[in-house]
Every structure is written in C-alpha cells, then in structure tokens.
Amino acid sequence: MKKQFRVFAAMIMALSLILAACGNSGDSGNSESSGEGEGNGSGNASGGDKVKLEIFSWWTAGGEADALKALLKGFEEKYPNINAVNAAVAGGAGSNAKAVLATRMQGGDPPATFQVHGGAELFTWVDAGKMAPLDKLYEENGWNGVFPPKIVDMNSKNDHVWAVPLDIHRGNVIFYNKKVFEENGVQPPKTFEEFFAAAEKLKAKGVTPLALGDKNIWPATMLFENTLLGKLGAEKYAKLWTGELPFDDPAVKESANIFKKMLGYINENHASLAWQDAAQLVIDGKAAMTVMGDWAEGYFVAKGWKPKEDFGWIETPGTENAFMVINDSFGLPKGVENPDAVKKFLSYLGTKEAQVTFNKIKGSIPARTDVDKSKFNVYSQSTIEDFQAAKESSSLALSLAHGSAASPGFLTKVNNAVNVFVTQQNVDQFISKLKSASSLLKK
Ligand code: GAL
C-alpha cells in the first residue's frame, strides 16, 4: 500500500514538473505579465522561484526605513510571486548611494529600479539614454491628471514621462522642541530677525539653538538654499538656476551673510553628525531646532514623538508662503532583467494604497492629489494644504540640495563650496566659488 502511494506521488510530481515547464517554455514575456496580481502565476522562467527586484534607495534611517519596509510589504502582498529586495545604501540624500548607482549604471548593471529626485537628477539618466519612457504605463494606470502638473514636469523631458512620483517632501521647515521653546519663553520665528532673537535667547540660557548634522555636507547646503528662498522669494530664487540671476547679486551675498550668522548658533559637533543625529539632539532637548526636510517628521514619529504635542514646526524664515519641493520618484532603467515585473512595482507605487502606506510613515505627502487627507496626521494634513496653496500662488521652489534645481555636477561644486564656507566663513570667497560654478548651469 505504502509503495503504491509513493509511486503515485512520484508520478504526480513528475507530471506537475512537466506542466510547469510547459507553462513557462519559450514565452518569458507572457510569464512576466501573467497574474502576479492574483497570486497565481509563477512570474518567471525558472519554474516557481520568485522574480527578484532590487529596489535601490538610501532610505535607512528611522522613519524612512520603516516607510520603505511597509511599501515593499504591501507590494509583496499584492504580488506574492515577486520578491522586492531592499537594496538601500546608507547615507542621507544619497550621499553614498548616488555614487554606487552611477558605477552600476555605467557598468551596465542597473538595479531593477532606483530612487531618484525629479528634475535635473533624473534628467541626467534620461539624457544619458539609460531610462525607458513610461508614457504607456501612465496611460494604463489612468495617471494622467492624477499628479500635480509641476510634479509631472519634474518627471518629464522631451515629451515623455520617465519616472513615477512616490512622494513630495517639504524642505523649508524648522522643527522645534516644544518644551524647550516653552521653558525658554521662545516663539516660533517667522522672520530672520525673530530667528536670531530666539537663537540669542536660547544661547544665553545654554541651549544649542540650531542642530545641524553636516557630516555629509548637504544639510548645510539645505540651510543655505532655504536662506536664499527666504531672502529672494520663490520667483527670484528660480532665476538662480536658469542663470538669470547671478550669484554675485547683492541679495545672494546677503543670504550668505545670514547663513554665516546662523552657523554661529549650531552645535559644536555638527561635522561628525548625520541629519538624524541632529534631529535626535532636538528630541533629547539638547538643541531647540533643526532645519530639515520633513523626513525628520518621520524620524520624530518613529521615535514616539507626537506632532503639536512634543514638536512644533514652522517654515524657515521668510518662506511662509513658499514650498521647497523635494520629490522622490522611481523609473525603469534600460537593460533590467524583468522589465514587466518592474512595471508592476512602478504601477503599485502610483496606487492610492501605496502612496498612503508609504507617506504616512515617511513624513512626506502623497504625490497623488486624490488621496483622502484624513488618513494622515496633523503635520502632513497641514503640508498637503500648504502644497496646494503654494501651487496656486506659484510659490513652489525646486531644491538644489536634493537634485531638482540643477545638475549633479553643479550641485557637487556648491556642496564643496559650502563645505569650505562652514569652516572658513569667508563670504567673498564663497560667492566667487558659486559664481564660477554657475558656468555649469544650462542657460
Ligand atoms: C532626500 C530624499 C528623502 C530622504 C532624505 C534623507 O534626498 O529625497 O526622501 O530620504 O534625502 O535621506
């Protein structure tokens, strides 16, 4: 009896192997598009093994890492035959990831998809002929009209769209420790004058006014770009990146002077800290404020801090009506092994479900405009409203520090100039470095 059963089981197994092999034979295109959504297709040519997709990003800090994990989990639940592998490389703003990515792209070994900032950063890959257009994917998913035009522009070039926006971050925010402000009788500062008055008061009481973590220089570059936005306003600020406003304009010099003054109020150990260490100083009450994109909000919440109760926020001085846009998108590199599976991932990123799951944890707002606001906390709800208002008044500004305003080559030069400036604080030298870097801007 037992022997008969074993023979029968062996026959069934052989039959199912033959069937599986037939199902996959000679039609890899079909197998990729067959039914992962329903969880009934094998999805690759190796008979049952999952298709692996390497999802490349730099989301490894508290908040952002959790958001990515939730996103990948949501995707795998929908597509059980695809394994979305987290291939994040640590280092805020892609300080390490971008170099790794460049080596891989140039070596013909692209990840399945990668985090990229809409705007100039994405366009370098488009111009190099490394990306596949996604117009058809937009059509298939009914995305036309679903993302704000400005965000679509940031992801489009030469009449094609090249990436799917997952989030919108706001870059011009001061986050502050409410208790520290209250204990020291400090109000959230709206203007540069108010900022310096508050900083003086805190300093006098022995509290570090402004936490900075510029181990990788970009948080200092952010502080500078926000100062430029505050001083110039969104319209003039935009002219910096087209070459219409020269870097030796008196208002730029004045911004550099304000930036220098701000550096007089930062923590001594700034050069050995990352952005999240600076955010932690605020949580610990060792510093009162930090200027950071709202992934810091994701970090605070991940650490159990509550918006409005434990931390407050206000736009950086002079930028009350402006919105410094930082947009993370994902595209389809040419030459990937499983383009159809990558398209499934990209399609998922654009769903309401994915945009809520991810952005709720990340501190960002959905790129889609038709998502139910009530699913977000009080911070994100106010950001959604501010984005809308800034959009209507043309006060959306592109971030240089986060790749959108100008090319990576120009950004590297600015980061280098900022790096020297933070230690030497020579305004004339700084301005002349910015001016000479501006020859890299496309006129
Ligand atoms: C930005 C990115 C954000 C966040 C931040 C810190 O460049 O757009 O999503 O990851 O870096 O790592």
Q: Which residue has tokens 């948080």?
A: 219
Find out whether the beta carbon of 89 lies less than 6 Å from any atom of ligand 1. no
Name the token pair of 146: 């679903």
**pLDDT computed for residue 41 by the predictor:** 31
In the chain, % of residues over pLDDT 90: 88
For ligand 1, the distance from its centroid to the CA atom of residue 59, given in whole angstroms, is: 7
Find out whether the beta carbon of 328 lies less than 6 Å from any atom of ligand 1. yes
271 vs 219: CA distance, rounded Å: 11
Amino acid of residue 289 = M
> Which of ligand 1's atoms lies nearest the C-alpha of 275?
6
- Beta-carbon contacts of 269 under 8 Å, excluding residues fewer than 6 positions away, are none
Find out whether the beta carbon of 59 lies less than 6 Å from any atom of ligand 1. yes
Which of 262, 295, 301, 304 lies closest to 276 in space, CA to CA?
295
Strands 287-291, 323-333: pairing kind: unpaired
215 vs 123: CA distance, rounded Å: 27
Find out whether the beta carbon of 402 lies less than 6 Å from any atom of ligand 1. yes
Strands 323-333, 163-170: pairing kind: antiparallel
Amino acid of residue 273 = L
4 vs 14: CA distance, rounded Å: 15
* CA 281 to the chain's CA centroid: 22
**pLDDT computed for residue 49 by the predictor:** 85
For ligand 1, the distance from its centroid to the CA atom of residue 94, given in whole angstroms, is: 7
> Which of ligand 1's atoms lies nearest the C-alpha of 362?
9
**pLDDT computed for residue 48 by the predictor:** 58
263 vs 35: CA distance, rounded Å: 56
Three-state DSSP at 67 gives helix
Which residue ranges in the chain fall short of pLDDT 50?
1-47
Which of 144, 39, 122, 41 lies closest to 408 in space, CA to CA?
122
Asked if 82 and 50 count as a contact pair (C-beta separation under 8 A), the reply is yes
Which helix (DSSP H) or strand (DSSP E) does residue 378 occupy? helix 378-392
For ligand 1, the distance from its centroid to the CA atom of residue 294, given in whole angstroms, is: 9
The residue whose CB lies within 8 Å of the most ligand 1 atoms, and thus the one to mutate among 326, 329, 361, is 326
The residue whose CB lies within 8 Å of the most ligand 1 atoms, and thus the one to mutate among 95, 114, 402, is 402
- Beta-carbon contacts of 112 under 8 Å, excluding residues fewer than 6 positions away, are 52, 53, 54, 55, 56, 333, 336, 337, 338, 341, 342, 345
Name the token pair of 25: 């034979």
Protein residue closest via CA to atom 11 of ligand 1:
93
Asked whether the whole model's pTM tops 0.85, one would answer: yes
**pLDDT computed for residue 55 by the predictor:** 98
For ligand 1, the distance from its centroid to the CA atom of residue 93, given in whole angstroms, is: 5
Find out whether the beta carbon of 92 lies less than 6 Å from any atom of ligand 1. yes
Which of 296, 272, 261 lies closest to 176 in space, CA to CA?
296
Strands 51-56, 113-117: pairing kind: parallel
Name the token pair of 101: 């990515």
Protein residue closest via CA to atom 7 of ligand 1:
93
Cα Rg of the chain, angstroms: 24
307 vs 303: CA distance, rounded Å: 12
Which of 306, 244, 259, 243 lies closest to 440 in space, CA to CA?
243
Find out whether the beta carbon of 101 lies less than 6 Å from any atom of ligand 1. no
For ligand 1, the distance from its centroid to the CA atom of residue 18, given in whole angstroms, is: 48
Name the token pair of 197: 């008055």
Q: What is the DSSP letter of 307?
A: B
403 vs 273: CA distance, rounded Å: 22
The residue whose CB lies within 8 Å of the most ligand 1 atoms, and thus the one to mutate among 155, 169, 275, 325, is 169
The dihedral sign for the CA sequence 177, 182, 188, 194 = negative
Find out whether the beta carbon of 64 lies less than 6 Å from any atom of ligand 1. yes
**pLDDT computed for residue 32 by the predictor:** 27
Compute the half-sphere exposure of residue 361: CA atoms within 13 Å on the CB side of its CA. Answer: 18
For ligand 1, the distance from its centroid to the CA atom of residue 395, given in whole angstroms, is: 21
**pLDDT computed for residue 34 by the predictor:** 28
Protein residue closest via CA to atom 6 of ligand 1:
92
Alpha helix stretches (DSSP H) within 155-191: 178-183
End-to-end CA distance of the chain: 84
85 vs 183: CA distance, rounded Å: 46
Name the token pair of 342: 């990558």
The residue whose CB lies within 8 Å of the most ligand 1 atoms, and thus the one to mutate among 56, 59, 276, is 59
